[in-house]
Structure 1
Amino acid sequence: MCVGQTPPPPGPPPPGLLPIDGGVLCGAAFAIFYGVKKLLFRKYNN
């Protein structure tokens, strides 16, 4: 009877992948602020 070996666990992901962190939140907040500003100034200019 043969006993097989289990494969080693996978390692960490390779470096170079872009993490989702505070930069995404900052960009989303800026986009919302910019959109609201554009909507408000469009109302005042008409």
Structure 2
Amino acid sequence: MYAVHQESVVVPENVDAIRAVMSAASREETVRLTDSTLGIMRGRLA
């Protein structure tokens, strides 16, 4: 089992929301940029 502080889960979504409101970028682009900037990996971890 892997546990993460709830505050950590909210930060990327807040960044995505702010970026989406402030620019004309698509949701997919803002998520990709945030994930890349924060080093968030996608997919399953082995």
Provide TM-score, normalisation by structure 1: 0.38
Pick 1 or 2: higher relative contact order, CA cutoff 8 A, min separation 6.
2
Q: Which has the higher helix share?
A: 2
Largest Rg, 1 or 2: 1
Provide TM-score, normalisation by structure 2: 0.38
